């Protein structure tokens, strides 16, 4: 399409979404749940169609020379198809956040003032290769009363089209407007530009994907963005830590999985406990194939235990490895640990391991990250683990939603006033 | 200053603010309150100095040919000076929002997850002529644990400098860093540009002033903006309204004060009640000197009562008059009223007057405005009337703070996790 046609196309989708959002905002809980369950059924019924459409994307990806990891992310295996259906059923089972009223208080004027949770309106989701995001994101938006405009990766276009048809079938089955979920059905990149610069049609953009996508969208957007940048997560093992807990948490935070954003990338160890902690912990990491990069003290202690450790540079403190590599630094106490986190961290998730109550509470209060933990693995920073039921992403922003974003993050609070004829004097 | 010097200057202020914000975030409630009270005392003590510095601004404004309303807004009269001191004392008396923990729940994994309210960090305030904003905004930011960078209007530079000295004196008196409140001490416009494009130093920008200022900042900012655009507020008088309440509310919403953003600009009247409502209400407006602009039905009904009413055009539905002018439209029921509000309103404040419960609750839920009211005057949409104690502004955004923004709007919620050695399996 030429640039003018793209603008016309996206504007038309935006108008339809805005109109549909008026209906979904007032939709009954039962109707929204019925739409989600009907879409889940349709996904199971059309598993073969989905696999056939997905095969086109997979073939194109292989021909284009994409690596196996990329092709894997693109694949709608029977397991992925079933998990999409189950995901919609789980969202249907969650409480409806819309319309919740809270903090209703009478004021001296006689009015009663409180807040009501309402949908944000129209949510734009821009994502990369995984086609299951089409269903997960649409499901969360439907339940939270929002309309959604989806823009998936061009490599997944056949899969995404087939999935969008099924979720729209679910909406129609429940008497809701199909346009509550729309797919931008062009692989033209200009469509993303048009979408993220249309505050009249889009209330918030949620980018899902690699850092370059998110940075590009944040830079160009004229619509608020709920985003996730780096996950440079720290565990600080205090002098007063329980050694056994410290080993267990530091091991789990790094090695339970290497690629998630909530995996520890830098271990900070107090000088007092380092000689007792680092040799046994270093042995665990080395046995699991984790490459260690440490400060001078760390290297001395590990070398004395016969363990390899490269010299860390400042670049290591600033890197999200997403791989079996760990930076380690010995620090002089809590203040130096918190200063390191403030200087090098990404405000995602940071944990302290200590039995000292005052230091634990200082760390909890003073570390300015989306999730701050005492004596627990950073790997817990997750919508399911936090009890949100589902998550659309993890935000490293400070405004609006912070950390794991579930249904509530897709809503806002308006003020409601109950009066009986009051006027202002 | 040349552009490079401006950038260096603003960067230096930003770094100082970021550093100060680490201290204010963990400051004790007593220290913050002591700073506010010391600043209040200093303002009273230095009333003569403030008046003298203000006189320079007033003289310059008069020489520059500014109109009397402008000069009025600039004036630090004894009453304004006292109200700034009292305002700081009121903020000191409010509960500290920082550190509040809520929703702590144990999860099946054994961790306990909840939220903690924390300062946003560094708040940039860009405002126009009123110098008292220097104190009001700084006071709210101090109490909420934030550092502030203030950029007032060039016409108030002498007044703002003198006020900033006193609030910084208060901070130092309480052992807090003076750089928690900094004034950008140049009238160069490029400083605003540098400020709003520095997400590394500024977490949110709050523009206070006319629409053109706010639009310019929203357009250029690379930092989130808590903003207020139009206040095109509606009162819809339903068929089932109590006539006496309807007259009282519609009168108050328009005439109690003409210039506030929460004043009604368009009155919507159901066709069924219009013949009984419009003649007596129109008489009140006309007697108070309000110019009426109505639809054809409105004009017929008012003409029959001998009352003047010009023909409204679409431009009237879209205008925030901030003046004794009122647009009136007769509609066919609730749906048409809500459609008018969705099409022409500014999502600020809208009210219904009705005794019909179902219609009242539909209006409350379905009207997508920051404040939605039943049987109350739109003039109540205000931080003091809502019980916030003070407000930094009224937001017409949907993300983060919506409607009147008090101390809580200057904070965010981070996740906190209490564990006892848990790891993820």
Read off the pLDDT band of B300 (50, 70, 90): very high
Q: What is the mean pLDDT of residues A76-86?
A: 96
Question: How far is the C-alpha of A367 from the C-alpha of A349, rounded, in Å?
Answer: 9
Strands (E), B197-274: 204-208, 233-237, 264-270
Q: Are A417 and B369 inside 8 Å of each other by CB?
A: no
User: Which ipTM value was assigned to this complex?
Assistant: 0.93
- Interface size A-B, in CB pairs within 8 Å, comes to 221
Scanning every residue of chain B, which has its alpha carbon at the shortest distance from the alpha carbon of A370? B414
Q: What is the mean pLDDT of residues B125-136?
A: 91
Report DSSP state, residue B312. Answer: P
Query: By C-alpha distance, which of A392, A384, A407 is closest to A97?
Result: A407
Question: How far is the C-alpha of A202 from the C-alpha of B162, rounded, in Å?
Answer: 44
The CA R_g of chain A, rounded to the nearest whole Å, is: 24
Q: Are A368 and B420 inside 8 Å of each other by CB?
A: no
Lowest mean pLDDT among A46-50, A212-216, B124-128, B325-329: A212-216
Read off the pLDDT band of B401 (50, 70, 90): confident
pLDDT of residue B396: 87
Query: By C-alpha distance, which of B203, B44, B222 is closest to B120?
Result: B203
Shortest Cα distance, chain A CAs vs residue B351, angstroms: 9
Tokens encoding A383: 């919508």
- Whether the CB of A121 is below 8 Å from some CB of chain B: the reply is yes
In B129-197, which residue ranges form alpha helices assigned H by DSSP? 132-143, 157-173, 190-196
pLDDT of residue A230: 86
- Whether the CB of B272 is below 8 Å from some CB of chain A: the reply is no
Number of neighbours of residue A199 by Cβ within 10 angstroms: 13
Contacts of A263 (CB under 8 A, 6+ apart): A231, A233, A253, A254, A256, A257, A322, A378, A379
- Whether the CB of B357 is below 8 Å from some CB of chain A: the reply is no
- Whether the CB of A242 is below 8 Å from some CB of chain B: the reply is yes
- Whether the CB of A99 is below 8 Å from some CB of chain B: the reply is yes
Q: Are A421 and B204 inside 8 Å of each other by CB?
A: no
Of A105, A219, A422, the CB nearest to B376: A422
Contact by Cβ (8 Å): A349, A381: yes
What percent of chain A is predicted at pLDDT more than 90?
87
Contacts of B113 in chain A (CB under 8 A): 380, 385-387
Q: Are B418 and A252 inside 8 Å of each other by CB?
A: no
Shortest Cα distance, chain A CAs vs residue B221, angstroms: 9
Of B375, B377, B419, the CB nearest to A373: B419
Read off the pLDDT band of A189 (50, 70, 90): confident
Q: How many angstroms from the chain centroid is the CA of residue A55?
A: 28
Contacts of A50 (CB under 8 A, 6+ apart): A43, A76, A81, A159, A162, A163, A166
pLDDT digit string (tens) for B55-67?
Answer: 999 999 999 999 9
Contacts of B305 (CB under 8 A, 6+ apart): B278, B279, B282, B283
Of B120, B414, B424, the CB nearest to A371: B414
Is A228 a residue whose pLDDT tops 90? no
Q: Are B416 and A248 inside 8 Å of each other by CB?
A: no
Of A245, A386, A397, the CB nearest to B415: A386
pLDDT of residue B212: 87
pLDDT digit string (tens) for A304-351?
Answer: 999 999 999 999 999 999 999 999 999 999 999 999 999 999 999 999
Q: Are A376 and B111 inside 8 Å of each other by CB?
A: yes
Of A244, A369, A414, the CB nearest to B372: A414
Q: What b/e readout covers B278-288, taking b as 16+ CB neighbours within 10 angstroms?
A: beebbeebbee
Scanning every residue of chain B, which has its alpha carbon at the shortest distance from the alpha carbon of A122? B398
Scanning every residue of chain A, which has its alpha carbon at the shortest distance from the alpha carbon of B243? A421
Q: What is the DSSP string of B65-81?
A: T--HHHHHHH---HHHH
Contacts of A351 in chain B (CB under 8 A): 417
Q: Are A252 and B372 inside 8 Å of each other by CB?
A: no
pLDDT digit string (tens) for A104-155?
Answer: 999 999 999 999 999 999 999 999 878 999 999 999 999 999 999 999 999 9
pLDDT of residue B129: 78
Of B107, B351, B371, the CB nearest to A387: B107
- Whether the CB of B63 is below 8 Å from some CB of chain A: the reply is no
Contact by Cβ (8 Å): A164, A131: no
In A188-242, which residue ranges form alpha helices assigned H by DSSP? 190-196, 211-220
Q: Where does residue A210 rank: exposed (0-12), middle (13-18), buried (19+ CB within 10 A)? A: exposed
Of B121, B379, B416, the CB nearest to A372: B416
> In the predicted model, what is the mean pLDDT of chain A?
95
Number of neighbours of residue B272 by Cβ within 10 angstroms: 15
Q: Find residues 165-184 of chain A whose CB sits inside 8 Å of chain B.
A: none
Question: How far is the C-alpha of A301 from the C-alpha of A292, rounded, in Å?
Answer: 12
- In angstroms, what CA-CA distances link A140 with A36, A95, A144, A389, B333? 9, 12, 6, 10, 33
Strands (E), B195-309: 204-208, 233-237, 264-270, 291-294
Contacts of B417 in chain A (CB under 8 A): 351, 371-374, 376, 380-381
Read off the pLDDT band of A20 (50, 70, 90): very high
- Whether the CB of A118 is below 8 Å from some CB of chain B: the reply is yes
- Whether the CB of A366 is below 8 Å from some CB of chain B: the reply is yes
Is B1 a residue whose pLDDT tops 80? no
Q: What is the mean pLDDT of residues B26-30?
A: 97
pTM of the model: 0.92
Question: How far is the C-alpha of B218 from the C-alpha of B220, rounded, in Å?
Answer: 6
Scanning every residue of chain A, which has its alpha carbon at the shortest distance from the alpha carbon of B377? A423
Report DSSP state, residue A66. Answer: -
- In angstroms, what CA-CA distances link B190 with A158, B9, B194? 49, 11, 6
Q: What is the DSSP string of A256-322?
A: S-SSSTTSEEEEEEETTTHHHHHHHHHHHHHHTTPEEEE-HHHHHHHHHTT---EEP-HHHHT----
The CA R_g of chain B, rounded to the nearest whole Å, is: 24
φ, ψ of residue B405 to 5 degrees: the values are -110, 115
CA-based angle B343:A225:A113, to the nearest 5?
55
Scanning every residue of chain B, which has its alpha carbon at the shortest distance from the alpha carbon of A112? B386
Q: State the best of B101, B365, B367, B372 to mutate against chain A, taking most chain A CBs within 10 Å.
A: B365
- Whether the CB of A131 is below 8 Å from some CB of chain B: the reply is no
pLDDT digit string (tens) for A342-390?
Answer: 999 999 999 999 999 999 999 999 999 999 999 999 999 999 999 998 8
Read off the pLDDT band of B47 (50, 70, 90): very high
Scanning every residue of chain B, which has its alpha carbon at the shortest distance from the alpha carbon of A372? B416
Shortest Cα distance, chain B CAs vs residue A106, angstroms: 9
pLDDT digit string (tens) for B187-237?
Answer: 888 999 999 999 899 999 999 888 888 889 988 888 888 888 789 999 999
> In the predicted model, what is the mean pLDDT of chain B?
95
Tokens encoding A368: 């300015």
Is B311 a residue whose pLDDT tops 90? yes
Q: Are A256 and B424 inside 8 Å of each other by CB?
A: yes
Contacts of A362 in chain B (CB under 8 A): 26
Contacts of B368 in chain A (CB under 8 A): 25, 118, 121, 414
Read off the pLDDT band of B397 (50, 70, 90): confident
- Whether the CB of B305 is below 8 Å from some CB of chain A: the reply is no
What percent of chain B is predicted at pLDDT more than 90?
87
pLDDT of residue A316: 98
- Whether the CB of A386 is below 8 Å from some CB of chain B: the reply is yes
Of B109, B249, B417, the CB nearest to A373: B417
- In angstroms, what CA-CA distances link A187 with A9, A88, A110? 13, 26, 56
Query: By C-alpha distance, which of A113, A171, A114, A183 is closest to A145?
Result: A171
Tell me if residue B271 falls in helix, strand or coil.
Answer: coil
- Whether the CB of A25 is below 8 Å from some CB of chain B: the reply is yes
- Whether the CB of A248 is below 8 Å from some CB of chain B: the reply is yes
The residue to which tokens 């200022």 are assigned: B213
pLDDT of residue B65: 95
- Whether the CB of A417 is below 8 Å from some CB of chain B: the reply is yes
Is A1 a residue whose pLDDT tops 80? no
Question: How far is the C-alpha of A336 from the C-alpha of A341, rounded, in Å?
Answer: 9
Contacts of A391 in chain B (CB under 8 A): none
Q: Are A376 and B204 inside 8 Å of each other by CB?
A: no
Contacts of A387 in chain B (CB under 8 A): 105, 107, 113
Question: How far is the C-alpha of A181 from the C-alpha of A72, rounded, in Å?
Answer: 26
pLDDT of residue A173: 98
Of A224, A342, A385, the CB nearest to B399: A224
Is A227 a residue whose pLDDT tops 90? no
- Whether the CB of A389 is below 8 Å from some CB of chain B: the reply is no
Q: Are A413 and B400 inside 8 Å of each other by CB?
A: no
Half-sphere exposure in the Cβ direction for A364 (13 Å, CA): 26
């Amino acid at each position: 399409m030429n640039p003018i046609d793209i603008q016309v196309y996206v504007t038309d989708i935006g108008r339809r979404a805005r109109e549909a959002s008026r209906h979904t905002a007032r939709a009954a809980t039962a109707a929204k749940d019925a739409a989600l369950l009907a879409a889940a059924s349709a996904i199971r019924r059309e598993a073969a169609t989905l696999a056939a459409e997905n095969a086109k994307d997979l073939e194109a990806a292989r021909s284009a020379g994409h690596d196996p990891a990329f092709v894997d992310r693109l694949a709608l295996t029977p397991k992925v198809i079933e998990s999409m259906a189950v995901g919609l059923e789980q969202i249907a089972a969650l409480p409806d956040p819309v319309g919740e009223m809270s903090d209703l208080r009478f004021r001296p004027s006689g009015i009663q003032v409180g807040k009501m949770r309402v949908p944000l309106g129209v949510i734009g989701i821009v994502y990369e290769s995984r086609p299951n995001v089409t269903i997960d994101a649409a499901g969360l938006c439907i339940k939270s009363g929002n309309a959604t405009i989806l823009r998936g990766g061009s490599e997944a276009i056949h899969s995404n089209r087939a999935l969008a048809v099924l979720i729209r079938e679910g909406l129609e089955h429940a008497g809701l407007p199909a346009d509550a979920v729309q797919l931008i059905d062009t692989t033209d990149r200009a469509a993303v530009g048009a979408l993220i610069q249309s505050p009249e049609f889009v209330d918030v953009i949620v980018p899902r994907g690699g850092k370059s996508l998110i940075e590009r969208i944040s830079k160009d957007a004229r619509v608020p963005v709920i985003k996730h940048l780096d996950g440079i997560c720290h565990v600080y093992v205090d002098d007063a830590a329980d050694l056994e807990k410290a080993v267990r948490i530091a091991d789990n935070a790094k090695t339970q999985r290497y690629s998630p954003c909530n995996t520890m990338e830098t271990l900070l160890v107090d000088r007092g406990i380092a000689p007792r902690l680092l040799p046994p912990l270093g042995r665990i990491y080395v046995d699991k194939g984790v490459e260690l990069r440490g400060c001078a003290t760390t290297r001395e202690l590990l070398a004395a235990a016969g363990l390899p450790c490269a010299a860390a540079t400042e670049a290591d403190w600033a890197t999200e490895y997403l791989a079996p590599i760990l930076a380690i630094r010995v620090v002089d106490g809590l203040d130096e640990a918190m200063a390191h986190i403030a200087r090098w961290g990404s405000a995602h998730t940071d944990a302290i391991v200590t039995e000292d109550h005052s230091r634990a509470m200082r760390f909890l209060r003073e570390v300015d990250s989306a999730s701050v933990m005492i004596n627990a693995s950073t790997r817990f920073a997750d919508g399911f683990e936090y009890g949100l039921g589902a998550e659309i992403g993890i935000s490293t922003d400070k405004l609006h939603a912070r950390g794991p974003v579930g249904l509530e993050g897709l809503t806002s609070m308006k003020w409601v006033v109950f009066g009986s004829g009051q006027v202002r004097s």
